[in-house]
Structure 1
Amino acid sequence: MDNTQPEPTTAAYDGWRAIVAKYQQPDVRKSTWQIVNSFGGLFLCWVLMYFSLNVSYLLTLLLSIPAAGFAVRIFIIQHDCGHGSF
């Protein structure tokens, strides 16, 4: 039984290189915007969650969903910074 797979062609590599080339260089403007809207969104969620405690615990729980999304975005940014790719 032969489990070998065909080797990708150089043309396939060149095609992917062209696609990802624009993402290989950091962009300070885009990076700054990503940091601002990630931390700002998380902070806004925290404030809304704090004030929603007087309204409904269910509302507070629902607001934790977008807050978790912003926390994941912040982790991704931190991870990319650690690799020097942000």
Structure 2
Amino acid sequence: MIEHVQKVIMDDFTFSTKTHFARIRVMESAHGAYRGYVYLRRTNEGPNDDPPYPTDFDREQYDLALEDAKILAQRLLREFES
């Protein structure tokens, strides 16, 4: 089961399974578009220096980039869980 927790600090969202933890962040580019990023780590490990997984597209709206990132986080967690 994937749990979802919204973090108010810095607009981060988190998802977790028994084995992995995903943190989502949406960033605005210099040209005003938004892109989601997913930071993934094992639940029994602290923060790491691994690069984030970017979503496929820049979006004009923050909400669309956030939805892309949520979908990517859930997909990655399912892949790493199995």
> Under a length normalisation based on structure 1, what TM-score does the superposition of the two structures give?
0.28
Normalising by structure 2, we get a TM-score of: 0.29
Which of the pair is proportionally richer in helix? 1
Does 1 or 2 have the higher relative contact order (CA < 8 Å, sep 6+)?
1
